[in-house]
Amino acid sequence: MEWYHFIIHGRVQGVFYRKAVSQSMMKKHFKGYIRNLDDGTVEVVAEIYDEDFGTFMEILREGSPLSHVETIDYEIIEDAEFHADGFEIRY
């Protein structure tokens, strides 16, 4: 299990991307958060087990019907000090 930091680029703000992703993440019992950034991208921080990484990425790529994901940048967060009980939208 690792904590990851993602930045999602594309048409991902104002198209219900955060809501759709957060609902899918909650159904799959992922832990973390999603939020819009000022530059038009979306940030996701999440705890992911290796065997669930592919599913997690599929959810990020799918988004909402109106969204269009161009690229997803990510990195493992070393020495993460995050705690999450579920998956939430942050503002």
67 in Cβ contact with 2 (< 8 Å): no
Residue count (the chain): 91
| From the candidate CATH numbers 3.30.365.10, 3.30.70.100, 3.40.50.2000, 1.20.1050.90, the one assigned to the domain spanning 2-89 | 3.30.70.100
Residue-range domain boundaries for the chain = 2-89
**Residue 13 and residue 36 in contact, taking contact as beta carbons nearer than 8 Å:** yes
Phi, psi values for residue 56, rounded to 5° = -60, -45
pLDDT digits (tens, 9 = 90+) for 54-79: 999 999 999 999 999 999 999 999 88
Q: Which residues belong to the active site?
A: 18, 36
Question: What is the value of pTM for the model shown?
Answer: 0.95
CA distance 20 to 74: 20
Task: Yes or no: say if 60 and 44 are a contact pair by the CB < 8 Å rule.
Answer: yes
Task: Encode pLDDT of 28-54 as tens digits.
Answer: 999 999 999 999 999 999 999 999 999
Backbone Cα Rg of the chain: 12
| Integer Cα distance of 48 and 56 in angstroms | 8
